[in-house]
Structure 1
Amino acid sequence: MKVRILANTLRFRLRQPEVQQFQQQGKVTETTAFGPDPAQQLHFCLEVTSGPELTVCYQSNTATIGVPRHLAEEWTGTALVGLEGKVDTGKGQVIEVLVEKDFVCLDRPEEENSGAYPNPKGVC
């Protein structure tokens, strides 16, 4: 999973195996280890929820985007590229959320593209 954070925008990009895992297990997690201790690890999680809207949560060093089941099924079972929404975190603050299928980068080495979806711009 690729994670991009810019101010109050959180973007997750998943490769094909990660989308399949999300479809089958309802959850996929990426970890960045700043050290060997669990307290030194930052986790990013995408999980299916029973609620009606996208959600965000930060707890115990884990940033989680919750995706309603009906949206998760549509996203994983069709050619739909991404899901997006704005989540009110309280007191007038909003986090913009974007969850996308990751496409092959046309200007990157092949090993960096492993598992990515074919890029529609790469076809003549």
Structure 2
Amino acid sequence: MKVRILGNSIRFRLKKPEVSQFEQVGKVTETAEFGPEPADQLRFSLETYDGETLAIRFISNTTTIYVPQALALNWTQTEKVGFDGEVDTGKGRTIRILVEKDFMCIDGNEEDNAGAYPNPMTKC
């Protein structure tokens, strides 16, 4: 999973195996380890839930985006590239969330492109 944060927005880009795991298990997580202890880790997670709208939480060094079941199924089982929304974080503030399938980089190397979706801009 690739994670991009810009201001008060966050974007997750998932490759095919991650989208498949999300569809089958209902959760996928990426971890950055800055040290050996759990407190030294920063985790990003995408998880399905029974709610009706996107939600986000940050607890114990983990940012979790909660995706309604229907939206998750529509995204994983179709050609739909992604989905987005804004979530109220309190005190009149919002965070923009974008989740997308990750396409192969046109000029990327094999390692960067492993597991990515074919890029619609190429004639592969």
**1:64 positional shift:** 0.5
Could you give the per-residue CA deviations for residues 20-54 of structure 1, whole angstroms, max 9, x where no partner exists? Answer: 00000000000000111110000000000100000
The Cα of 1:81 is off from its aligned counterpart by: 0.2
1:32-87: per-residue Cα shift (whole Å, max 9, x none)? 00111110000000000100000110001000000000000000000000010000
- Provide the residue aligned with 2:40 in structure 1: 40
Partner of 2:69: 69
Measure the CA separation in 2 of the matches of 1:54 and 1:79.
20
**Aligned residue in 2 for 1:106:** 106
Structure 2: which 5+ runs fail to align? none
CA distance in 1, matches of 2:74, 2:4: 23
**Percent of aligned pairs with the same amino acid:** 60
TM-score (norm 1): 0.98
**Superposition pairs for residues 67-106 of structure 1, below 5 Å?**
67-106=67-106
Note the C-alpha offset of 1:92: 0.7
Shift of 1:111: 1.3
- Give distance in 1, aligned partners of 2:2 and 2:95: 18
Aligned-pair distance for 1:123?
1.4
1:24 to 2:24 alignment: yes
Taking structure 2 as the reference length, what is the TM-score of the superposition?
Answer: 0.98
Q: Does 1:55 align with 2:55?
A: yes
Provide the C-alpha distance between the structure 2 equivalents of 1:83 and 1:59, rounded to a whole number of angstroms: 23
Moved over 3 A (4+): none
| Secondary structure of 2:121 counterpart | helix
Q: Hey, what does 2:118 align to over in structure 1? A: 118
CA distance in 2, matches of 1:32, 1:111: 18
Number of aligned residues: 124
Q: Structure 2: which amino acid aligns with 1:66?
A: Y
